[in-house]
Structures are given as C-alpha cells and as structure tokens.
C-alpha cells in the first residue's frame, strides 16, 4: 500500500455528516475558560471538516491520564454515551499518544480524532496548489508515521524472502520505510520551493512589503481584496486560504507596496504543519 492509499484511508468520503462528541480536559495549568473556548473552536473545526457535533465532555483532573487521557470513570461514561447515541467519532482537543489511542479505542469502539488530525484533514481538503498539497502531505505523513501502531495492529507478520528487508519483517516496518522514503521526496521538493521563493523575495528587497497576519477566518482575504482590488478566495470558513498571495497596492500615485495574504493561525497549530508551511510563513517573517 502506498502513501496515497494511506491518506485515502484517513479521509474516507461520507454520504452523510459523521456525528461527533468533543472532549477537553481542565488541569491546574489549563483553566475552565480556556477549555471552553478551545472546545468552541474545536466544534468549528469539526463543522468545517463536515462533522456534526452532538455533545461535549469535559473533565477536571490533576494531570492528563497517560494511559487513557481521561479518568477511567469518564472513559466508561463516554463509552456508554457513544453506544447510546451511536456516535461515529470522538474528537479530543489535545493530541493523543499511540498508547492512549489504542487504550481508548478498545473501550469506545469508535473512530478517534485528535486536534492535530482534524486540522490536517481540513488542510488536505483545502489545498489547491501543488505547493500547498506538498506541504500538507508532508505534515500528514509525519503525523501518520508515529501512529502506525494504531492503524496496522490488525496486520500479521510477513514472511521474509526475496525483495524484503529480511525474515520476519513486520508490515509496520515496511510501511514506515515507505513513508520515510516519501517524506524524503517531499522535503526535497519543499527545499527547492524555499530556494525559489527566497530568490523572489530577494528580487523584491527594495520594495515596501506588508503581510496580513491573523486568526483564520478573521477577514484577511476580504481586506486584501478591498485594498488591492483583487479576487483572492474569501469565504466564511476556517482555512479558506492556504497559499501566500501577493498583490501590488498603490497607496498614492507615487507610493506602492506589496501586500501578501497568508494562511491563518489557530490555537495549537500543529508544529509539523508550521514546519511544512515554512516557505509560506517566510513571507510574513520577511515583510
């Protein structure tokens, strides 16, 4: 199975919206108000991805349970809720470790999605340009590589033989090498894109440059269209813009500036996604 097939498995098409419960955790370091705001945002993300949120669950704990995220009693309560409502998935506001995913799946018996997985899914559906698609695929594969233990626990060990790494190689090891090879290819592509964009920025060094930076769906693209009389995609949804777009704005007959619209920000933006979108975000850094 190749990397593209992996991504298709993570993003199956659905005839009707999947139902979801969102889950958050209050700890001494994370206040109730922050968690409520974060879950409001998580519900917007779920809606953007095409899911219908039917409820939320919040627990107050001294710290995150390393085995099951929530306490055992809350996990049991959540399992009863999922079974009673026939819920399709549970979305967690924090990232889950492979061990947490495995343990929770064993009890809930439904699809689990964490915040990073949800954001990556949205980015994959929004990517239009070749650059954006490359950036998103790299972030997805980096994320996927650490979670192969969950996705392939049902696969048995392969027999060794000609063309394999050696006797007893597991399917997980094969897939991990496949993903690693694809990641190397994507990194080379993005390195070339970085060089090209660095050259473009160098050619514009003597010009005034301004970048629109802010929260996703805050109106950056709409503002750019107004100021630059442009036709950048502007929609009332999260992450409508993934590519950096630059237009010339005349502030007076003698004075012009280059105005750039960029990808928006959000709480807990995945680090791998930030790394993948380095060439896009460099437009902001050098404005």
- Which has more confidence, 151 or 237? 237
Angle at 52 between CA 219 and CA 99, to 5 degrees: 100
pTM: 0.76
- Cα separation of 64 and 67, whole Å? 9
Tens digit of each residue's pLDDT (9 = 90 or more) over 173-219: 778 888 899 999 999 998 898 888 778 777 766 778 888 888 887 78
Q: CATH number for the domain including 102?
A: 3.40.50.11060
Identify whether the C-beta of residue 177 lies closer than 8 Å to the C-beta of residue 254: no
Q: Which residue has the tokens 């994370």?
A: 30
- Predicted confidence at residue 195, as pLDDT, reads 87
Compute the mean pLDDT over every residue in the chain, rounded to the nearest whole number. 80
* Residue 224 confidence (pLDDT): 78
Quick check: is 191 in a domain? no
Q: How far is CA 187 from CA 70, 89, 136, 193, in A?
A: 36, 32, 12, 10
Q: 279: domain CATH number?
A: 3.40.50.300
Asked if residue 217 belongs to a domain, the reply is yes
Residue 62 has pLDDT above 60, yes or no: yes
**Among 90, 122, 154, where does a domain finish?**
122
Residue 30 counted as domain residue: yes
The pLDDT tens digits for 90-122 are 999 999 998 999 999 999 999 999 999 999 998
For the cut 80, the answer to whether the pLDDT of residue 89 exceeds it is yes
Main-chain dihedrals φ then ψ at residue 103, nearest 5 degrees:
-70, -40
| Enclosing domain of residue 52 | 3-122
pLDDT in tens, 127-149: 888 888 898 899 999 998 877 76
**Last residue in a domain, options 122, 155, 173:** 122
Total structural domains in the chain?
Answer: 2
Residue 164 has pLDDT above 50, yes or no: no
Q: Is the pLDDT reported for residue 168 higher than 60?
A: no
Which among 105, 122, 139 is the end of a domain? 122
Please state, in angstroms and rounded to a whole number, the distance separating the CA atoms of residues 104 and 179. Answer: 26
CB of 127 within 8 A of CB of 133?
Answer: yes
The alpha carbon of 123 is separated from its chain's Cα centroid by a whole number of angstroms, namely 6
Query: Which pLDDT belongs to residue 156?
Result: 36
């Amino acid at each position: 199975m190749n990397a593209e097939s992996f991504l298709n498995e993570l993003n199956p098409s659905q005839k009707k919206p999947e139902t979801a419960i969102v889950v958050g955790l209050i700890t001494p370091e994370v206040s109730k108000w922050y968690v409520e705001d974060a879950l409001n945002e998580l519900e917007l993300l779920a809606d953007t991805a095409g899911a219908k949120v039917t409820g939320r669950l919040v627990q107050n704990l001294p710290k995150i349970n390393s085995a099951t995220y929530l306490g055992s009693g809350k996990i049991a309560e959540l399992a009863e809720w999922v079974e009673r409502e026939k819920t399709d998935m549970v979305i967690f506001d924090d990232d889950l470790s492979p061990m947490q995913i495995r343990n929770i799946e064993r009890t809930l018996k439904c699809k689990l999605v964490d915040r990073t997985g949800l954001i990556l899914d949205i980015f994959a559906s929004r990517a239009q340009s070749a650059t954006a698609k490359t950036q998103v695929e790299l972030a997805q594969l980096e994320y996927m590589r650490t979670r192969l233990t969950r996705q392939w626990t049902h696969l048995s060990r392969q027999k060794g033989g000609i063309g394999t790494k050696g006797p007893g190689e597991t399917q997980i090891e094969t897939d991990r090498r496949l993903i690693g090879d694809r990641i190397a290819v994507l990194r080379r592509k993005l390195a070339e894109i970085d060089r090209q964009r660095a050259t473009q920025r160098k050619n514009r060094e003597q010009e005034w440059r301004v970048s629109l930076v802010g929260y996703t769906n805050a109106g950056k693209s709409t503002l750019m269209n107004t100021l630059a009389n442009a036709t950048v995609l502007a929609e009332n949804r999260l992450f409508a813009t993934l590519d950096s777009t630059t237009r010339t704005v005349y502030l007076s007959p003698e004075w012009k500036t280059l105005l750039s619209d960029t990808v928006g920000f959000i709480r807990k933006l995945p680090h791998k996604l930030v790394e993948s979108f380095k060439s896009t975000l460099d437009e902001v850094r050098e404005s």
